[in-house]
Amino acid sequence: MIYNEEGVIWVKCDNCCLTMFGGFASDSRDDVINPMKRQGWTFGDRALCPYCTKDEGWIHRVMADIRRGDIDW
């Protein structure tokens, strides 16, 4: 998801909710998407961060480890 908050554009992963700075208000959606694609993000039906682009299930495994206490978050 790409959203504008007071002139600042944020890109949020639709799978794990990782949110990154996408830039400042621009004239074109491509001004945000192209730099994010270079960082590994994908945009289709959903916006996916570089981690979820490689493996959409990673966040579920990490959260399960945190709940079990295997990872000290």
Per-residue pLDDT tens over the stretch 15-72: 999 999 988 887 778 888 998 999 999 998 999 999 999 998 998 888 898 888 887 7
pTM of the model: 0.79
Closest CA to 41 of 63, 16, 61: 16
Residue 73 pLDDT grade (very low, low, confident, very high; cuts 50, 70, 90): low
Other CB atoms within 10 A of residue 11 CB: 22
